[in-house]
Structure 1
Amino acid sequence: MDLPLPDTAYDIDFDDAGSDGHAFGRPPGLRPEQWPRSRVNGLPMAHLFTVRVPEQYRCAGADLAGLSVFQSDDHVADEVEGAADTIAGGDPPSHDPRAAAFWSALTAYAGGAHPRERYREDLIGGGWVWIWRTEDELAAPPCPLPDPATKEPDDTGEDCTDAWRHDRPPRPLRLTARADDPNAGKRFDEWGKAAPGYIDMDSEEGKRLGLRDRFFDRCHFGGTATVINGGDFGPFFIGFDEKLGDPNLGSFGFAHLDLAADEIDWSD
């Protein structure tokens, strides 16, 4: 979907009275069998946050007003052979009868995943999913956790997270338009080099405008980005760190989800 370049960036903050989504908690408007699952160990992924997307950033369609984001620590998870193939639509491998519920859950997910689910892997092999949400879905009740009986019986999960271990009370979010962010609608280019027109927060002009003091380490849609070690993403993005649902970003990392390109990257 082609959109005009945004002219406003938005901060994402915790606010007990906020009505723009929530971090932690459970995603609204999903069925348990639609809860995204790891392609490595088959377990339901951690729900990080569900947030309302400002109209200027609705790259998937004007009627898709929100985003639910999930993560799995696949780079440290023990692989369950056949999980990825089953999620891709293949037949489950031969398995212990004790694991029947687990393989049935993967088969159900393969045939009934949310139609707007995007699955991506990051540079270290971690799994990410985001799902664009309608207004009706945002207003729906939270999804129940998948049945723990669908866990792979031999899984210990000591080195990674899943939906059950990550489950915490929701923290409401509030969006606030940024005042005078000069980088709204501008792209941040690779290796931390500002694209034409972008004002780096540590440039002379950026220092004059106080961009670091105003915008560093803020979760946000668009505008001046917190870039730890470079990056390359367009003007339609959401930037977040471990405050927003406790993703694994390597300690002090910051992620950028490019909403137009359907890509995610992070650096620490």
Structure 2
Amino acid sequence: MLRFERMSTFRLLRNLIQSCILIRVKSTKMFKRLISKLSKPPLVNIVTPSRPPLPDDLDPALTAYDLTLDPGADPAHPAVAGWCFGLPPGITPIQWPLDPESGYPLQHGFTLRLPDAFKVRGPDIVAISFFGTAADHNDGVPLCTDGLREIILSPATPQPEDPHLRTFWDHAQNAHPLLHRMKDVLGCQFAVIPLTAAELAGSACAVPNIATNPLLANTIEPQWMRIGGAASLLGLEREYLDLEKLTKGFKYRSIGGMPEKRVDHRVPIVLRPRQDDPNGGKAVGHDDYIMPYDENYQRPDWVKNLRPCHLGGTMFPQQAVPHMGAHYIEFEEYFGNFNFGGGNAQLDLKTFAFDWAC
């Protein structure tokens, strides 16, 4: 007796495609993409990794904090001290720092409200916004657009006659008064804008409308300007994604799950006290600083619970230890979507000395 099984259109189509493959029908890229979409769960079904509860209170005198990302955190909670990705607050589009190499806006990596002990540039500076070369604009050297570097970096340059060049000149003339720029050994650009309380509480800044400038026609637009920094971090612009592999990856787990494809999508940053760190309040590399390894280059027990992204305390650089003050931030690539060659970066919050290594 024959037995028939009711089959959904979805399963029928999937089985038909798979049968075609078995009889060695030549597969095209379109077939692969279709099979991927039929075989993998939709993005909405992916479960966000769980997060530990937020700390109840924070001691303002503490001089070391771990920084973790928690997409479900209440922005009003006192332990939430800013966000990664998304948009910077309190500045205007013309103050958004441009990349002098490519001409596009530098990617906003994070905005961080500083604990009292870290307000080392004066009591009026309560936060920073950090920007940098987009990861997909850095392939060992920055992606460049000829003729823009001098205009963007030199406000004293005479006003150009070309109206398209004048757009970049206008940005240089109207830069934020506290803008601080840095450049790494590869020529990639970074910037910090110190923020007042009023700026931190201000509206999110729209991305400068500069992508249609004809001078940028031959320089590809960074992904974050189309889908946002968090989605760009996970490569969500690619047409074919191995979702199972993606959701098991470190970056996915680090940002707490699947982000929305929006330039304003941001992930809250949570401060967690580093109470067991013996280097809290100590300048890095100085006489009283305790290295995070013993004479046999083994890590002691007190190192095990320290997170890779943090304010102050023990530093974990990939190569030589940069000499910085006690008030610095160390962060990984996923903390804003940067390309540090698989390494991490450090920023001194007083001097704005910046370093990274892989």
Please give the TM-score of this superposition, normalised by the length of structure 1: 0.84
Structure 2 residue aligned with 1:50: 111
Report the alpha carbon displacement of residue 143 of structure 1 after superposing the two structures with TM. 0.4
Whether contact under 8 Å (1:120, 1:128) holds in the other structure is yes
State whether structure 2 residue 146 is matched by structure 1 residue 80. Answer: yes
Structure number with higher strand proportion: 1
Structure 2 residue aligned with 1:32: 93
User: Per-residue CA shift, 1:226-264, capped at 9, x if unaligned?
Assistant: 11101322211011011211111112x110001122210
Structure 1 residue aligned with 2:194: 132
Whether contact under 8 Å (1:254, 1:267) holds in the other structure is yes
| Cα 1:10–1:206 shift into 2, 3 Å | farther
State whether structure 2 residue 54 is matched by structure 1 residue 9. Answer: no
Structure 2 residue aligned with 1:192: none
Report the alpha carbon displacement of residue 84 of structure 1 after superposing the two structures with TM. 2.2
Structure-2 separation of matches of 1:221 and 1:42: 31
Report the alpha carbon displacement of residue 206 of structure 1 after superposing the two structures with TM. 7.8
Report the alpha carbon displacement of residue 87 of structure 1 after superposing the two structures with TM. 4.0
SS at match of 1:257: strand
Structure-1 separation of matches of 2:347 and 2:194: 13
State whether structure 2 residue 164 is matched by structure 1 residue 91. Answer: no
| Cα 1:188–1:181 shift into 2, 3 Å | same
Structure-1 separation of matches of 2:214 and 2:306: 43
Structure-2 separation of matches of 1:70 and 1:86: 15
Structure 2 residue aligned with 1:236: 327
Structure 1 residue aligned with 2:253: none
Question: How many corresponding residue pairs?
Answer: 249
Looking at both structures, which has the greater relative contact order when contacts are Cα pairs under 8 Å and sequence separation is at least 6? 1
Whether contact under 8 Å (2:65, 2:271) holds in the other structure is yes
Which has more radius of gyration? 2
| Cα 1:234–1:155 shift into 2, 3 Å | farther
Report the alpha carbon displacement of residue 156 of structure 1 after superposing the two structures with TM. 4.0
Structure 1 residue aligned with 2:302: 210
Report the alpha carbon displacement of residue 125 of structure 1 after superposing the two structures with TM. 1.1
Alignment gaps of 5+ in structure 1: 1-5, 190-194
SS at match of 1:225: coil
User: Per-residue CA shift, 1:160-201, capped at 9, x if unaligned?
Assistant: 837624724111111122112100122223xxxxx3121111
Structure-2 separation of matches of 1:77 and 1:255: 20
Structure-2 separation of matches of 1:33 and 1:69: 16
Structure-2 separation of matches of 1:140 and 1:214: 35
Letter in 2 for 1:145: V
Structure 2 residue aligned with 1:111: 173
Structure 2 residue aligned with 1:3: none
Structure 2 residue aligned with 1:146: 208
Quote the RMSD (CA, aligned, Å): 2.4
| Cα 1:135–1:206 shift into 2, 3 Å | farther
Letter in 1 for 2:327: F
Letter in 2 for 1:227: P
| Cα 1:116–1:139 shift into 2, 3 Å | same
Structure-1 separation of matches of 2:313 and 2:352: 18
Identity %: 30
Whether contact under 8 Å (2:277, 2:302) holds in the other structure is no
Structure number with higher helix proportion: 2
